[in-house]
Amino acid sequence: MTQWNVNRRLLFSLAMLACGLSTAGAQDETAAEPLVQKVIRLEHISAPQAEAVIMPLRREASWSVVPELKLISVQGPQGAVEAIERLLQEVDVPGPEDATSVRLNVVFTGYLVGASDAGESQIPEQVRDAVVELGKHFPYKNYSLLETFGIRTQVGGSAEVSGVTTTAPDQPAMRYEVEIQVGDVSETETRKVVRIRALRSQWRLPIETKPDVFVYEEPGLRASLDIPEDVIVVVGKSGSVGAYQGIFLLLKAEVVEP
């Protein structure tokens, strides 16, 4: 037998010996870990929900559930049982729809602003800053406040408002609808931010085709956006014909206690 074959067999034997020692050490360590049993009572989630969460650990420990009492009995090595207990503590917390929780409310104030190239702007003080900013991007000569509306709903809820207003003294009234689906409320360093999952705005505009004869068009807009609290935000603009070339929707949100 050559020296190379002798050395190769020696290395192989040493490697197998080391592997065997490592396996034996791991088995001894596992065997040394005590077996325990722990009964965990759930507060906010159901037993089936908890079981679904800990299912990836089914090879580490075993358990049985009592759904009627919201109990889980866990058996296994102490480390595995403690890991399951920590995991359940992380997920067994009140949810946003918990019956004992009180959700914040959001009060929305909306403004419909018409824009045209005729006449002079007559904008109330409360929306003046927003309209000045509008003019930098949409340089119409005339901005007029057509309507103001307000509505309140829960965080995570929805709200809808509708009404009528006029765009010109000698024309029929314009009908509008605004629907808002509210998400959550987060906080930055300076203010709260309201998340709107979906917003739909639509108005029914009278269009004069000949003297005293009108047809109706229904322009609108849809959006999802975040609104800083107490800041008037320009949601969007919908094109129009007649007295105004465009109608803007402005929105302000205020978070309040219920």
Output DSSP code: residue 173: P
pLDDT band at 13 (very low <50, low <70, confident <90, very high): very low
β-pairing, 105-116 vs 246-256, is: antiparallel
Residue 170 lies in a domain: yes
The reply to whether 53 and 167 lie within a common domain is no
The reply to whether 168 and 138 lie within a common domain is yes
DSSP string, 110-172: EEEEEEESSS--B--GGGHHHHHHHHHHS--SEEEEEEEEEEEEETT-EEEEEEEE-SSTTSP
Residue 8 lies in a domain: no
The reply to whether 118 and 201 lie within a common domain is yes
Q: What is the CATH number of the domain that holds 31?
A: 3.30.1370.120
Cut 0.85: pTM above it: no
* Chosen domain end from 91, 113, 134: 91
The reply to whether 125 and 35 lie within a common domain is no
Long-range contacts of 130-138 (CB under 8 A, 24+ apart): 130/232, 130/233, 130/234, 130/250, 133/234, 134/234, 134/248, 138/237, 138/246
Q: Which domain holds residue 55?
A: 25-91
Residue 2 lies in a domain: no
The reply to whether 116 and 191 lie within a common domain is yes
The reply to whether 251 and 202 lie within a common domain is yes
Identify whether the C-beta of residue 113 lies closer than 8 Å to the C-beta of residue 131.
yes
> Taking 60 as the threshold, does the pLDDT of residue 40 lie above it?
yes
Residue 177 lies in a domain: yes
The reply to whether 115 and 232 lie within a common domain is yes
pLDDT in tens, 129-186: 888 888 888 888 888 888 999 999 999 888 999 999 877 777 788 899 999 999 999 9
The reply to whether 61 and 154 lie within a common domain is no
Residue 65 lies in a domain: yes
Q: Can you give 29-54 as a three-state secondary structure string?
A: HHHHCCEEEEEEECCCCCHHHHHHHH
What pLDDT does 96 receive?
57
Residue 16 lies in a domain: no
The reply to whether 114 and 196 lie within a common domain is yes
